[in-house]
Structures are given as structure tokens and as C-alpha cells.
């Protein structure tokens, strides 16, 4: 995925076939939690805007990164204890189930902050 994809569909189509279903699952979880969020490409990965920056996701070598503006990761540290995290990312391992309920919870929490301008 060297060139910037024109759409999220193109991004997923350009990924290796064995990970496309997981990427679709991450996309579906974000869209289910934030149905009114605008979907586009930013930083060469899928991006969602809801009253500002909501979330990104991107395929890495051994995981899918879910990127959320701080302080989302810190505020959900206990629930994310089983995942590698950074200040603004959750690493979703490719060899594990996508934690859809947890993803939706994180997206909804970020939406609430965006609603209040935080």
C-alpha cells in the first residue's frame, strides 16, 4: 500500500486477502458506533470525522492499529490491559478476535468528547 488509496474500500482491497475480513470488521464496528461519522482517507489510512477527529485504523505487520486522540487509551486502561497500547493507539493482533464491543465503547466515548469540544 505505497500510494494513498482513494477510499476505504480501496484501502481494504489493497490489503493482503487474509486480513481483509478483519479490516472490514474494524470498519463495521466504527460505522456501527458512529453511523454519522464521515469516512475518508487521512495519513494514507481510513479516517472517521465526527465533530472533529474521531478515529483512524491501519494495517501494520502483526496488528491493526486503532488510533484515537488522547485521553481515550488512558481513560480505558483497565479494559485495554490485554492489548499493547500507546498514548493514542490500540494494537489489535491479527491472530486474535477483533474486540468489537470494546471498540464501539471507545468510539462512543470519543464521540462524547467531540460533542463537548474536548
Tens-place pLDDT, residues 34-70: 999 999 999 999 999 999 999 999 999 999 999 999 9
Mean pLDDT across 83-88? 96
Q: What mean pLDDT is predicted for residues 106-116?
A: 96
- Please report whether residue 109 resides in a domain: yes
What's the whole-number average pLDDT of the chain?
Answer: 95
What 3-state DSSP class applies to 105? helix
* Domain-located, residue 2: no
Residues spanned by the domain of 90: 8-113
Q: How far apart, in whole angstroms, are the C-alpha atoms of residue 8 and residue 49?
A: 13
Total number of domains constituting the chain: 1
- With respect to residue 106, please indicate whether it lies within any of the assigned structural domains: yes
The pLDDT, as a whole number, for residue 2 is 56
> Does the pLDDT value for residue 1 go beyond 50?
no
Amino acid at each position: 500500500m505505497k500510494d494513498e488509496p482513494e477510499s476505504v474500500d480501496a484501502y481494504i482491497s489493497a490489503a493482503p486477502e487474509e486480513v481483509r475480513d478483519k479490516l472490514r470488521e474494524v470498519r463495521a464496528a466504527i460505522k456501527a458506533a458512529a453511523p454519522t461519522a464521515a469516512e475518508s482517507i487521512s495519513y494514507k489510512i481510513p479516517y472517521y470525522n465526527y465533530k472533529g477527529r474521531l478515529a483512524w485504523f491501519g494495517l501494520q505487520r502483526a496488528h491493526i492499529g486503532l488510533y484515537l486522540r488522547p485521553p481515550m487509551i488512558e481513560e480505558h486502561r483497565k479494559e485495554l490491559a490485554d492489548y499493547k497500547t500507546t498514548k493514542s493507539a490500540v494494537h489489535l493482533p491479527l491472530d486474535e478476535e477483533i474486540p468489537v464491543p470494546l471498540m464501539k465503547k471507545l468510539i462512543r466515548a470519543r464521540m462524547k468528547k467531540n460533542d463537548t469540544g474536548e
